[in-house]
Chains A and B, each alone.
Chain A
């Protein structure tokens, strides 16, 4: 075991790059023992990369991590745990049928000399641990009977029970009620008193003023600012976070909002987060939806498309009003959907390129009941050419294509049919920077030909460069509406964190 008496965890000039992306660029920061250090930044700022490097899940390209002056050698998650660096992730990873105590000591059950579980010691140790960190939980309770905040406490207790030196919390409050958040803060204060260094990663600005001692802002993988909490305020932090320049803006028609309405969404709610959402979409309009992780963008897209059932409200398309509908209703109304999860929800792995491309549009290739494979192939070849998909033929199994080429097939899937509206969920995620502009310009061109676009994104750049209108989402609701050219990044961000 490493000596974990230290004053500061020093992160010195750490860099990490992935193909096409510089995820971290010479980032330095110091996290003091007994302090809460907030780490902030937009999606893609580099927060998760930094957490994963500290946790040993990624290796850094250059730079050093030290306890005071002692270099740490983190090669894998185990090393990291041995240094006492513990991460509490957003998702609860407890065994729900086990008791609190069993979960905490999962990999280290107290046993007697015969290897038989010592239940008394297990419960006593758990109780002692809880006293130390100030928890009030019965060690014998079953996890599935606990509230989410209580489960999170168990996660934290599990993280700190063995020599924690640094505790990293990744968006710990995203699923907590205000009351539960207060309880969590009490726990964090207790951890501070135990001289543990805490890295608190969040996008909720108001929280850091309650709990953090210091705040560091990252943007596009770079260190932007580091301030004591007493020396900063909300405005300054947002400015640091979003102050990025928009790479490209596109020329958009000015009078788009006076075009006819093609879709009218009225007060829809779903079991999946969406609450009372209404909006109109005009012909040829690009309507951007911005929201942070968990704001409900994907859920809204899926509810509108009929993937998730709506529990309230209605949608009007093509003069038809739908209260209950499925994806096939929406596809028949000329609506398409491109998922953010290409592998999971996009490609059909047992099918070839042609079959993947024609899947929603098979009806148009039918002669009587039989698919006319010649026409189908011709259409596929046309789009292979149009998007220069790299493939020897349209008969190639889709899984043998690269990710980017698969994405092109998925876009073509909708373009070979008559389309009025397309729903795009994070169209530039995982696309390298060069291709990003290409994707955005394609969207712009399609909209100019009269296609209406629902653009769900967490990328400020995509949003500002394309959207005619911007709807900001938070917690499943629409919190604010903005118009093209009459909004700043700060305003959008502020609306998204409320």
Chain B
């Protein structure tokens, strides 16, 4: 019951309405292909958004996820090209992501730099240094079928990115709702002093939040590289904003203290279905930015109204 609180019900209702509307407009909406397409492009966002939900719940934010993701596509493609081994490629990616997550977390907690600024700086550093790593895009020369399978394959007729997302999802639902760590993240975000005076090591959990988010970016980055069949500098542009917008739309508070994975998933589905609908309805694609912008403002506004009524 708790996991379909008012906010989620509203989002779910909105989602249903959207689906009904679009299917009236274009019956292709319910084609298996279209559902695959929506879910596949949602899943890379969702995977990162699980981490971002935790971060926002604990009152932090990570703007470097898009830049990191683009860097990951380059690293994974390059390392597999050189070594011919997917495992080594993954080790390189997750090692790098762990390192970046740690830096983000330590700059936030040890140097006490606001995470909005710390991760903005990290975004710039990554955007620049990916070109130091390689000026040119890295193309798939290893041609290992398993690698293409990660982003493009199907398992039981479900796109692999979706399978990977579904594999990660329960872990985060449980983490945030049923373990003490979930409570720690929300207490740190809601009232850091109270959390600290309850014996919680705020800084440790903040660092963990940043590391988890970066590792998830690693997962999504590998999927993206497989999907593009390329390691591409400058890809995943604006990805961080889509992730944050979806998490906020899902009902997680930007001020921390309140986070919901289910809400995040609904938020992403809504944004992605709007994206999809704009293409299905052949509306100019600029509306892919305009419509979610308005929806986000409304969502956060209604959230504030509801909070005022209940408080």
Contact = CB atoms under 8 A, between A and B. Distances in A.
A327 B197 contact: yes
B186 interface: yes
A351 interface: yes
Contacts of B195: 348, 359
Give the size category of A's interface with B.
Answer: 20 to 34
B258 interface: yes
B27 interface: no
Given A307-B197, A328-B201, A331-B198, A351 B178 contact: no
A332 interface: yes
B257 interface: yes
B174 interface: yes
A427 to B, nearest CB: 15
Given A328-B201, A366-B180, A413-B198, A350 B193 contact: no
A431 interface: no
Interface in A309-357: 326-328, 330-332, 337, 339, 344-351, 355
B180 A339 contact: no
Interface in B76-129: none
A349 B190 CA distance: 7
A355 B180 CA distance: 10
B191 A327 contact: no
B80 to A, nearest CB: 34
Interface residues of B, number: 25
A344 B197 contact: no
Contacts of B191: 344-345, 347-349
A399 interface: yes
Nearest to B307: A350
Contacts of B196: 307, 326-327
Nearest to B186: A350
Contact of B180 (A328, A330, A331, A363): A363
B194 A345 contact: yes
B199 A349 contact: no
Interface string A271-311: 00000000000000000000000000000000001010000
Given A332-B199, A344-B193, A359-B198, A370 B186 contact: no
B179 interface: yes
A350 B310 CA distance: 11
B185 to A, nearest CB: 11
A355 B191 CA distance: 13
A366 to B, nearest CB: 7
Interface in B251-310: 253, 257-258, 310
Contacts of B193: 339, 344-345
B187 A359 contact: yes
Contacts of A337: 197
Given A348-B257, A369-B179, A328 B197 contact: no
A152 B297 CA distance: 46
A362 interface: yes
B201 A351 contact: no
B10 interface: no
Interface in A384-428: 397, 399, 413
29 contacts: A307-B196, A307-B197, A326-B201, A327-B196, A327-B198, A327-B199, A337-B197, A339-B194, A345-B194, A345-B197, A346-B194, A346-B197, A347-B191, A347-B194, A348-B186, A348-B187, A348-B195, A349-B190, A349-B191, A350-B186, A350-B189, A350-B190, A350-B253, A350-B258, A351-B190, A355-B183, A359-B183, A359-B187, A359-B198
Q: Which 4 A-B pairs have the closest CB atoms?
A: A331-B199, A362-B180, A350-B257, A345-B193
Given A307-B196, A350-B189, A351-B183, 9 more contacts: A327-B198, A332-B199, A339-B193, A351-B187, A362-B184, A369-B179, A397-B310, A399-B311, A413-B198
